Amino acid sequence: MPDILIQKENSQLRRMGKNDLDMVRGWRNHLNVRRYMYTQHEISSTEHLAWFERERQDRSKHLLIFEHDKTPKGYLILNSNDGTPIADWGFYLAPDSERGIGKKLGELALEYGFLSLKLHKICGQALAFNEKSIGFHQRLGFSQEGRLIDQHYDGETFHDVCLFGLLAQDWIRIQNKDD
C-alpha cells in the first residue's frame, strides 16, 4: 500500500519508492522535461539509483509522486533546507499528462507543504526561457523575487534564473479569496 500523505478529490501525493525509479527516470529523461533542467544529459539507471538512495536518507527532503485517478502523473520534491520552515521545490510531470494536471499537482503540493509540513515559505526557480514554469508559478500565487543574470551555463549558453517565493500567509489569503 503506497504511503499516501494527502488526498483531495481524485488526486493524491505519496512518498516516492524504489518501484517508482524507472518511471520517474523515464519522465526526467524525456526531452520535453530534460531541456528545462540544470543538468540536461540523460540520467543512467545507476546515477538515478545513487541519487535516490542519497536523497531519501536526508530527512529535510520529501520525494513525492503525484497521482491523479490512481495513475502517477508527476514527481515533486520539497527540500526544507535542513529543517527550517522554508522549502525549495522542484517538479515535473509525466510527458503525456493531460492539460490541467500541473495545476492539480501544484495546488496539492502547496496544501501539503503549508498545512501538513507547516512551512512558512516555498521557493522555486525556473530558467528564464521556461515560460511555462514562470507562468505556472505566477498562477499559483508565487511572486518573482529575483533574477540571477547568466547564472546557469548549459555548456553552450548562459541563462538567467528566475527566483520565486510564496509565503504561507499569502497562500491562505489566495485560498480564502477562491472560496
Residue 13 β-bridge partners: 6, 66
> How do residues 4-57 score in pLDDT, each as one tens digit?
999 999 999 999 999 999 999 999 999 888 888 888 899 999 999 999 999 999
CATH architecture for residues 4-178: 3-Layer(aba) Sandwich (3.40)
Is-contact 62 77, C-beta < 8 A? yes
pTM check: above 0.85 = yes
Straight-line distance from the first to the last Cα atom of the chain, in angstroms, rounded to the nearest whole number: 33
Residue length of the chain:
179
Q: Check if the beta carbon of residue 69 is closer than 8 Å to that of residue 83.
A: no
Residue 179 is predicted with a pLDDT of: 62
Show me where the domains of the chain are located.
4-178
Render pLDDT for 54-107 as a digit per residue (tens, 0 to 9).
999 998 999 999 999 999 999 999 998 777 899 999 999 999 999 999 999 999
CA 163 – CA 134 distance, rounded (Å): 9
CB proximity list for 96: less than 8 A, separation 6 or greater: none
